[in-house]
Structures are given as structure tokens and as C-alpha cells.
């Protein structure tokens, strides 16, 4: 039993040794594996350490960057705080500015609305005034242009007259001095004048009578007297060949007794007559008239100029211009016909006159000015100064008992000045009437017209001749005055004389 025990013990020992060896081997193997694992782990640790070192370096870099970012963030925070404070301040200022601006805009709107309304009213008023001014200006310009055209026509006539007969200049000087110089050289006989002109003389018939006329300016226009065709709507014209045509009024001027009419038809061989220079006529100069006295067509009469620049008063004709006094038979029916000098030019339009043998003619220089205006405008505007005057002579001075001038004083004594008209605006003063206690009337001269633009004024006909031939409304003239013992000059600008009522 013991050996079995010993064998068992031996076997157990062997088994134990084997188990120990196996255990040792297993342990050694485990240790080797662990060493291998440790070595491997060491390598991994070294690698991890290296990576950790690199990571630490990166972390250090990141830390530095984080510190920089933190510093920048701190600065940025400060800046944001400052910006927030500035924004808050700006917001407050903007709010205040907006409120202030809103108030100013509101006030400006109120002011602007009021200003615009006021401006609108002012503009409407100015527009209305401007429209009225433009209308008046247009009318004034039209009148001035028409007057200019009239003046240009007159100037053209004057130029033609001067170019055709220079010798008339000496006669004009003689006529101004009212001297009886020898007549100009006769170039035609009355028969020559008649043969050259009779085809251009016509008979004018109206329901109330008849008169004469002549072809003027162009073949369909006829010049005649105002009183021949006054207010007539039915006018018939008979020509030299006994053909007839209806006529209409182009224009009339009662103050010069001139009218222009137009015919619908006329013979082909009629032609306008040429106007001469009436200012060159002189007392004693031979003239001839062609007319239709008492209906006897194309009759000639001959005679002489009795006087120039005469003032006349007619009951039915408000003539204000100076006229030519004629020693020529002008019977009823001849009024409106042409008066010729012996050069064959028309120097006037005839008028049968007063009925007491006083025959006269409207001077051709007046016809030139008036006729040109009647053709373009239908009317003629005479200058109007707005004063009355009388001729001074020893008889007038004695009759009126003018005590403060010499008995030989000449000129035009101003006797009346109409307020608001050019004479009053120029400061002209009428003579003063002084009533003495003994009922004696005495006049004191204030202003006496001595000359106009240097032309002497001896009597009122001198005034009328110069004004009617050389002055138009709106044209300033210079008056030389005797004024309370002194000689002065005054500028005066006439207006248009009111048209004679139809």
C-alpha cells in the first residue's frame, strides 16, 4: 500500500512537476508574450509620446493663437462696446435730428404751401398784367410799324420827287419865304398835261351826288375827297372809255379830306398818276385841274396858285390841314380830281370850296402821307398835342391887352392846355387872364411858340404845315419858346388825334 502511495505520490509528483513545468512554460510564454506586448506597447507609447509631443506643440501653438484670439476678442469687445455706445449716441442724436428735421419740414411745408399759394397768385396777376401789356405792346408795335410803313412810303415819294426834279428845291425855299419868285421853266403846255393824264381821271357816283378822282399808287386804287364818298356803301366809278365798275372804300381821313377807294375792274391802259412836291408851289404859279364839273367828263380848267398854307373852315368837312388857295374854276362834280403843275405831276386834290368862289386843293405832300396809311391801315393818325394857340400880331396884342410882351412880338401864344395831354405833360402854360377892379381884362403871356425843330412859327399855318408834313404820333419834337421873357427849349411828344366819328 505504501508503494502504491509512493507511486501515487510519485505519479502525483510527476504530474505535479509536469503541471509545474507546463505552468512555468505557460507562465514563461505568457511573460514573453507580455514582454512582446510591452515592447510593442513601448513602441506605441514612444510613437504616442512623439505624437503627444507634436500635439503638445500644436496645442501650444493653438493656445498662443487662442490667447491672440482672446486678446483680439477682448479688443473687439471693447470696440463693440464703444461702437454700441456710439450707435446709441448716434441713435439719440438722429432721433433728435429727425424730430428737429420733422419740425423744420413741417414748418417748411406750411411756409412752402403759403409761399406757393402766394407765388401762384402773384404769377397769375403778373401773367394777366403781362398778357395785357403784351396786347398793348402788340397794338403799339402794329401802330408804330404801320406809321413807319407810312413814313417810308412818304420818304420814297419824297426821294422820287427830289430825284425827278432837283430844281424844286429852290422853289421850296422860295415858297417857305412866301416870295413870288419867277416860275420854273415850263416844260409842257396844259394840252400836253391833259393828253398825258385824262385817261387816269374818273367820275365817282354815289346815291347822294358825284365827284371826281384819279388813279393812285396802282391801277385799281383811286384817290378822291373824303366828302365825296363819306359813309357810302354804293359807289360807282366811270372811266374815260365810259366803262363802269363798282368800288369799295379802302380808307378815309376826314381831317385831310382824303379817301382811297378800290375798283373791281378797270381799263387796261389806265395808269397811276405821279405825285409832285406841293411844298415847292409858289403864289402865281400856273396850275391846271381835270375833273367832271356838273357831270361833264374830263374837263380842263387852268389858273394860278393864289396862296399857300391857308387855314379854312368848312361846315361839313372837319379839315385841319393847310390847303392851297386856287384861282381855278372848280365846279361841283370836280371835287376830288387832280391838280397838276406844268410838269404833269399831281400837286393836290381839288375841292369846290366854300361856295363863295374860294376854291382850294389838299397839298400832294399831305396826300402822300395820308394815302400810304389809308392803303395799309384804312385810317391815318394825325399828331395831337392838346393845346390851343393864336397868332400874335400888333392887332392881336392890342385887342387882348397883353401887357407883358412887346407890340411887335410874333409867334403862337398858348391860350389853352388840356390836362393829361402832351402839352400839359411837357409843362406848357396858357396865357393868364387878369380881371382888373375896373372890369378891364388883361392877359399875361406865359408861353409863346417861336419855332419847331428850328423851323420859325410866324402863324398857325406854319405850325400845321410842318406838323402835318413832318411829324407823326410818338415822334418827339423840340419847341423853342418865349417863356416869361426868356427863350427856352422843350421836348414834346404828340399822341394820336382821336378819329373823326363816322
262-316 pLDDT per residue, tens? 999 999 999 999 999 999 999 999 999 999 988 788 899 999 999 998 888 777 7
pTM over 0.75: no
- Collect the ranges in the chain with pLDDT lower than 70: 1-53, 55-56, 58-59, 61-63, 66, 69-70, 72-73, 76-77, 79-81, 83-84, 86-116, 119-120, 123, 126-127, 129-186, 354-357, 439, 502
Cα atoms in the 13 Å half-sphere on the side-chain side of 121: 5
Cα of 161 vs its chain's centroid, Å: 34
Check residue 358 and give its pLDDT: 74
pLDDT tens readout for residues 34-81: 566 556 656 665 665 666 667 667 667 666 776 776 676 577 667 666
pLDDT at 91: 58
- 420's enclosing H/E stretch is none
Find cell 394777366 and name the residue: 128
Across the chain, mean pLDDT equals 81
CATH class label, 383-496: mainly beta
DSSP string, 205-222: EETTEEEEEEEESEEEEE
With beta carbons less than 8 A apart as the criterion, state whether 444 and 485 touch: no
Tell me the C-alpha distance between 339 and 347, whole Å: 6
Q: Supply the CATH classification number for the domain 181-373.
A: 2.40.10.120
* HSE toward the beta carbon, residue 468, CA cutoff 13 A: 26
In which residue are the cell numbers 361833264 written?
A: 296
Delimit the domains of the chain by residue range. 1-164, 181-373, 383-496
pLDDT of amino acid 255: 94
User: Which of 458-489 are b and which e, b meaning 16 or more Cβ less than 10 Å from the residue's Cβ?
Assistant: bbbbbbbbbbbbbbbbeeebebbbbbeeeeee
Give start and end residues of each alpha helix (H) in 165-202. Answer: 168-176, 190-197
Q: Do the Cβ atoms of 317 and 227 come closer than 8 Å?
A: yes
Query: What CA–CA distance (Å, rounded) separates 40 from 382?
Result: 142
Residue 108 Cα distances to 95, 101, 111, 253, 454, angstroms: 19, 10, 5, 64, 66
CA 189 to each of CA 184, 185, 277, 351, 498: distance values in angstroms, whole numbers, following the listed order: 13, 11, 19, 23, 43
pLDDT at 72: 67
Residue 279 CA: distances (Å) to CA of 11, 94, 459? 192, 91, 17
pLDDT of residue 183: 44
Amino acid at each position: 500500500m505504501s508503494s502504491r502511495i509512493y507511486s501515487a505520490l510519485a505519479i502525483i509528483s510527476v504530474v505535479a512537476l509536469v503541471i509545474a513545468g507546463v505552468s512555468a512554460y505557460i507562465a514563461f510564454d505568457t511573460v514573453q508574450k507580455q514582454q512582446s506586448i510591452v515592447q510593442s506597447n513601448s513602441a506605441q507609447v514612444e510613437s504616442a509620446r512623439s505624437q503627444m509631443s507634436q500635439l503638445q506643440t500644436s496645442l501650444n501653438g493653438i493656445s498662443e493663437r487662442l490667447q491672440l484670439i482672446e486678446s483680439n476678442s477682448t479688443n473687439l469687445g471693447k470696440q463693440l462696446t464703444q461702437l454700441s455706445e456710439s450707435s446709441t449716441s448716434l441713435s439719440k442724436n438722429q432721433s433728435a435730428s429727425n424730430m428737429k428735421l420733422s419740425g423744420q419740414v413741417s414748418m417748411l411745408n406750411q411756409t412752402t404751401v403759403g409761399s406757393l399759394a402766394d407765388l401762384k397768385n402773384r404769377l397769375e396777376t403778373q401773367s394777366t398784367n403781362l398778357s395785357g401789356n403784351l396786347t398793348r405792346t402788340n397794338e403799339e408795335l402794329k401802330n408804330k410799324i404801320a406809321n413807319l410803313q407810312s413814313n417810308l412810303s412818304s420818304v420814297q415819294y419824297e426821294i422820287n420827287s427830289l430825284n425827278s426834279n432837283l430844281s424844286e428845291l429852290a422853289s421850296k425855299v422860295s415858297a417857305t419865304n412866301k416870295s413870288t419868285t419867277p416860275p420854273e421853266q415850263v416844260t409842257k403846255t396844259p394840252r400836253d398835261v391833259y393828253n398825258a393824264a385824262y385817261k387816269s381821271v374818273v367820275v365817282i357816283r354815289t346815291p347822294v351826288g358825284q365827284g371826281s378822282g384819279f388813279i393812285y399808287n396802282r391801277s385799281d386804287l383811286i384817290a378822291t375827297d373824303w366828302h365825296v364818298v363819306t359813309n357810302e356803301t354804293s359807289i360807282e366809278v366811270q372811266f374815260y372809255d365810259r366803262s363802269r365798275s363798282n368800288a369799295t372804300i379802302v380808307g378815309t381821313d376826314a381831317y385831310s379830306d382824303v379817301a382811297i377807294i378800290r375798283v373791281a375792274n378797270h381799263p387796261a391802259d389806265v395808269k397811276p398818276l405821279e405825285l409832285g412836291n406841293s411844298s415847292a408851289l409858289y403864289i402865281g404859279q400856273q396850275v391846271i385841274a381835270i375833273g367832271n364839273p356838273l357831270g361833264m367828263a374830263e374837263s380842263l380848267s387852268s389858273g394860278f396858285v393864289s396862296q399857300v398854307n391857308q387855314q379854312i373852315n368848312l361846315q361839313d368837312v372837319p379839315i385841319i390841314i393847310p390847303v392851297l388857295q386856287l384861282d381855278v374854276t372848280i365846279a361841283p362834280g370836280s371835287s376830288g380830281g387832280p391838280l397838276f403843275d406844268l410838269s404833269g405831276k399831281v400837286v393836290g386834290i381839288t375841292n369846290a370850296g366854300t361856295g363863295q368862289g374860294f376854291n382850294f386843293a389838299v397839298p400832294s405832300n399831305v396826300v402822300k402821307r395820308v394815302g400810304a396809311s389809308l392803303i395799309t391801315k384804312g385810317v391815318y393818325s394825325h399828331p395831337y398835342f392838346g393845346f390851343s394857340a393864336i397868332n400874335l400880331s400888333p392887332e392881336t396884342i392890342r385887342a387882348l391887352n397883353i401887357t407883358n410882351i412887346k407890340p411887335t412880338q410874333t409867334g403862337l401864344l398858348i391860350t389853352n392846355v388840356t390836362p393829361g395831354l402832351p402839352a400839359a405833360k411837357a409843362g406848357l402854360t396858357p396865357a393868364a387872364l387878369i380881371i382888373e377892379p375896373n372890369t378891364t381884362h388883361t392877359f399875361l403871356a406865359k408861353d409863346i411858340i417861336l419855332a419847331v425843330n428850328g423851323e420859325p412859327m410866324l402863324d398857325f399855318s406854319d405850325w400845321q404845315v410842318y406838323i402835318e408834313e413832318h411829324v407823326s404820333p410818338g415822334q418827339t419834337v423840340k419847341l423853342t419858346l418865349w417863356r416869361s421873357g426868356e427863350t427856352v427849349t422843350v421836348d414834346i411828344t404828340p399822341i394820336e388825334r382821336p378819329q373823326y366819328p363816322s
